[in-house]
């Protein structure tokens, strides 16, 4: 039985009877967890097993946003605190090779945490290049101030995740760094010319276009489409993401419940899929909203199904060997103990 082109959240730390029945009937491709779903390692393991059992697919992707810094759903005391992306580029000595090594190591440790509780996708790396006029929603989540820094450290993070048995999601395509508003609250418009976007904003995504999963930005790029945000714009997806960037992995939306998008939830889902995304993402676990989204999604077939299968095939049969105590000690030493467990 085929899945449908949607990823859903759930309401709490335990799957409710209503959610179980809904997911069984709707057959989403995957799920996403947030802080409201996370209490202890044993509890998260039970929840991820319950989600997969509900749809009868033991390989189903389960996502989380575990960047570090402000965006970290699994936190102390059960999991260590990780630094934001910017911190890797500011490691003492300003050594780019050391920064790359530590960024990979941090992601490898995050992958160990996630895989241990049944999570196999992390919405990392964030490849947005910040602009001085951009909104602080990106801020220190970015790996650096230049495309070159973002490429170097973003690639390292993606490699570290894959080595640990977790798939990376590059975000927010084709670039959120110039946006002057928080897309959780409103729709930003980027007025930069296409040449500037290609040179700076698209560059990290182009350099990591081989990654298996990508996420769109709810941002209008006036040089490409002055009417529709990237998530629902055929032009942005065709000419920027699939074209100039060359990304042919599975493309998902950012959260459909964000206020940057307009219209009812079925329309949001239909518009995104019609524009060329492969899978829509709805995060808040609100049943009425999920039911509406389900009315707007289709079966995951054709090219989208092939991309989904190819993405999951990137998971290694076994994680790269890791001396956990040594890795943690090396990671803590790189930050002078500021991110000790």
Catalytic residue chosen out of the listed positions 95, 184, 210, 336: 184
Residue 21 neighbours by CB under 8 Å, 6+ apart: none
The beta strands (E) that lie in 73-199 are given as 121-122, 167-173, 189-190
What's the rounded Cα separation, in Å, for the pair 61 and 86? 28
Q: What is the dihedral of CA 301, 304, 308, 309, to 10 degrees?
A: 60
What's the CA gap between 65 and 155, in Å, rounded?
A: 17
- Given 128, 254, 255, 278, which residue is catalytic? 254
What are the φ and ψ backbone dihedral angles of 183, each rounded to 5 degrees? Answer: -70, -15
**Catalytic-residue membership of 254:** yes
Check if 176 is active-site.
no
Residue 156 CB neighbour total at 10 angstroms: 23
Residue 32 is given by DSSP the state E
Active site residues: 184, 254
């Amino acid at each position: 039985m085929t899945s449908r082109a949607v990823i859903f959240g759930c309401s709490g730390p335990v799957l409710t009877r209503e959610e179980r029945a809904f997911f069984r009937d709707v057959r989403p491709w995957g799920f996403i967890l947030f802080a409201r779903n996370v209490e202890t390692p044993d509890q998260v393991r039970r929840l991820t097993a319950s989600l997969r059992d509900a749809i009868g697919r033991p390989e189903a992707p389960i996502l989380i946003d575990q960047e570090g810094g402000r965006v970290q759903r699994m936190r102390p005391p059960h999991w260590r605190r990780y630094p934001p992306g910017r911190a890797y580029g500011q490691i003492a000595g300003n050594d780019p090779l050391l920064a790359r090594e530590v960024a990979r190591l941090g992601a490898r440790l995050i992958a160990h945490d996630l895989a241990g509780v049944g999570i196999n996708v992390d919405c990392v790396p964030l490849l947005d290049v910040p602009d001085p006029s951009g909104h602080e929603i990106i801020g220190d989540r970015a790996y650096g101030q230049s495309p070159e820094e973002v490429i170097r450290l973003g690639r390292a993070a993606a490699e570290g995740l894959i080595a640990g048995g977790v798939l990376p999601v590059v975000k927010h395509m084709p670039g959120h760094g110039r946006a002057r508003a928080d897309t959780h609250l409103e729709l930003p418009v980027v007025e930069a010319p296409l040449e500037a976007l290609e040179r700076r904003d698209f560059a990290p995504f182009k350099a990591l276009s081989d990654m298996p999963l990508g996420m769109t930005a709810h941002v209008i790029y006036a040089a490409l489409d002055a009417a529709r945000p990237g998530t629902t714009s055929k032009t942005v997806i065709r000419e920027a993401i699939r074209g100039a960037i060359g990304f042919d992995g599975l493309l998902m939306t950012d959260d459909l419940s964000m206020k940057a998008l307009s219209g009812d939830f079925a329309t949001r889902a239909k518009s995104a899929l019609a524009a060329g995304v492969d899978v829509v993402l709805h995060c808040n676990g609100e049943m009425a909203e999920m039911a509406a989204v389900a009315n707007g999604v289709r079966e995951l077939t054709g090219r989208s199904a092939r991309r989904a299968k190819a993405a999951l095939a990137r998971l290694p049969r076994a994680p790269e060997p890791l001396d956990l105590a040594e890795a943690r000690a090396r990671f803590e030493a790189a930050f002078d103990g500021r991110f000790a467990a």
